[in-house]
Amino acid sequence: MSAEEPENADEGEDEDIRYFVRIGQTDLDGTKSVERSLTEMNGIGHRAARIITEKAGVDRTATFGALEDDEIESVVDLVEGFADEVPDWLANHRNDFFEGETTHETGNDLELTRRQDINRMKMIDSYKGVRHKRGQKVRGQRTKSTGRTEGTIGVNVEAIKEEAAEEAAAEEDE
């Protein structure tokens, strides 16, 4: 019977786990560690996740869903106010065009902000905007031999096989 008691104790711990932890509009996996779970959120990488766990005073290897409610709330608050807690160079949206503020966008807000910035560049016909319009490389990469979307460079084995099959079919018809 002593072997059954530890199993029951483990089951009791599993019942306390929150399988989903919601931050903003994103559901995070509560069965993973805090750091790993935070990195699943758009805008939060490994370094940001480690900083958040240190500032919240939470063990980064602890299971996220097994934390107390106040610990989870402290992590959520730090994620939402990440730009205020870190230097400006660590935030992902510095010096906003309209407000001039530095923010750290996460979740769906990151994609929305990125799309708005690209559309603004296209509208004012900046160099980067023109490159975006044309579908070319934007950040100064080489384009002489890479980034080609049409045509094949070098030997096209499939085309050679197709030509050989067509010639063989033409010879059989004769």
pTM of the complete model: 0.68
Residue 170: how many CB atoms within 10 A of its CB? Answer: 9
pLDDT tens-digit profile of 66-101?
A: 988 899 999 999 999 898 888 999 999 999 888 899
In this predicted structure, what is the pLDDT of residue 7? 47
